[in-house]
Structure 1
Amino acid sequence: MTRLRHTLLAMLLVALPPLAHAFDLQQLSEQLAKPTVIHGGFVQEKHLRALPQPLTSKGKFVLAKDFGLLWLLDTPLKQDYRITAAGIARREDDEDGGWQMIPNKSAGAEQNRLFLAVLQGDSSGLQRDFELQLSGDAQAWKLTLVPRSLMLAQVFKQINIDGGELVQRIELLETQGDSTLLKMLDSTAKQPLSDAERTDFAQ
């Protein structure tokens, strides 16, 4: 009987998927870092305690592994942002249409820096500032970020990120009760950078 138990146990162990192959942060980082360029649309909802309805903005984005992120607002106003390792720049409204660097110390700047780290799959960068908890698999995963540092904890209570092959949804819960929900729409990694996009990153 003991031998039969051992045989059955061995058969079960062979049949069960090995726990060592569970989806982990390293695999998620590699998955998100794989595309060279991602194009897509977004809807951003800013939920403020003082307002009954969220403030909604819509636009397009271009994420390029070797350059950074173009964040192109269409509504409620047209405004283009470029987020790179060098900082955040805004496209000027003049005829030249050049880019102007903006201060990096605002809450909005910190939020955009987080977006770039998340979309690029920079888990090592995120781990410096947050405790990371990952669940799910490569096709449907959820990543929860809880701030480590006091500075971030004063702004963010928690950040929830959902995705599959690419990031699909980012929710930022602030300590004061406000929140931001960002939905990534129609993301594709099959379209290369256009000449105009290359110029925007190069300026």
Structure 2
Amino acid sequence: MALLSTLALAASLAQPCGEFSQQKTLQGLSKPLESRGHYSAGPGGLDWVTDSPFPSTLSVRKDGLYQALPGQGESRLASMDNPLVASLGRLLAAVVSGDTSSLAQDFELSQDGEKLTLKPKDPTLAKAVTEMQVQGRPAREVRLIEPGGETLISLSPGQCR
């Protein structure tokens, strides 16, 4: 679930730009799905740019979610009129700003050394992701535990492109 991966990444950012590698393990597949790319975050939102295996850009902004594919224009996937997207937009604002009090409204937070664990309070969100784990300060790794598998995102702060 690219959106949740993007939000997990935003939740962990200490640097506004960097690179990521992602492995998604799914039940029934012998090898994880792998992707690599870069990200940039700021007051206007978050851009999650996948370079391989297929180029694409997912942008999370205050007014909605957008996707851009090579040779095509940007298309809106969802708007903030959708209650789930609106709550994700609010969540994004909280994670990008590091507002743990706002995060605590939507997640149960627990800290163990350098590991921050977030468990969704909303049953709808909990159906998609049961737990997020952020390792390190700044974050080096984000793990999404999902009902059908898990996603591991490794982060490297870097130059903005």
Please indicate the TM-score interval, normalised by the length of the shorter structure.
Answer: 0.7 to 0.9
Shift of 1:182: 0.8
Deviation digits for residues 58-112 of structure 1, max 9, x if unmatched? 0011112x22111111101011121122221112544xx642211367x9xx989
Higher relative contact order (CA 8 A, sep 6+): 2
Amino acid at match of 1:184: L
Correspondence for 2:7 = none
Distance across 1 between alignment mates of 2:39 and 2:152: 16
Q: Check if 1:86 corresponds to 2:63.
A: yes
Secondary structure of 2:154's partner?
strand
Shift of 1:116: 6.9
Secondary structure of 1:77's partner?
coil
Amino acid at match of 1:79: S
Point out the structure with the larger helix share.
1
Point out the structure with the larger strand share.
2
The percentage of aligned residue pairs carrying the same residue is 30
Correspondence for 2:140 = 168
Consecutive unaligned residues in structure 2, runs of 5 or more: 1-11
Consecutive unaligned residues in structure 1, runs of 5 or more: 1-31, 195-203
Distance across 2 between alignment mates of 1:53 and 1:115: 30
Distance across 2 between alignment mates of 1:152 and 1:163: 24
Distance across 2 between alignment mates of 1:118 and 1:80: 20
Correspondence for 1:126 = 103
Amino acid at match of 2:132: I
**CA spacing shift, 1:144–1:178, aligned 2, 3 Å:** same
**TM-score, normalised with respect to structure 2:** 0.75
Distance across 2 between alignment mates of 1:173 and 1:112: 21
Correspondence for 2:26 = 48
**CA spacing shift, 1:118–1:53, aligned 2, 3 Å:** farther
Aligned partner of 1:101 among 58, 76, 83: 76
**TM-score, normalised with respect to structure 1:** 0.61
**CA spacing shift, 1:113–1:178, aligned 2, 3 Å:** farther
Aligned partner of 2:150 among 162, 179, 186: 179
Q: Check if 1:63 corresponds to 2:41.
A: yes
- How much is the aligned-residue C-alpha RMSD, in angstroms? 3.2
Secondary structure of 2:98's partner?
coil
Shift of 1:114: 6.2
For the pair shown, which has the larger CA radius of gyration, 1 or 2? 1
Shift of 1:150: 1.3
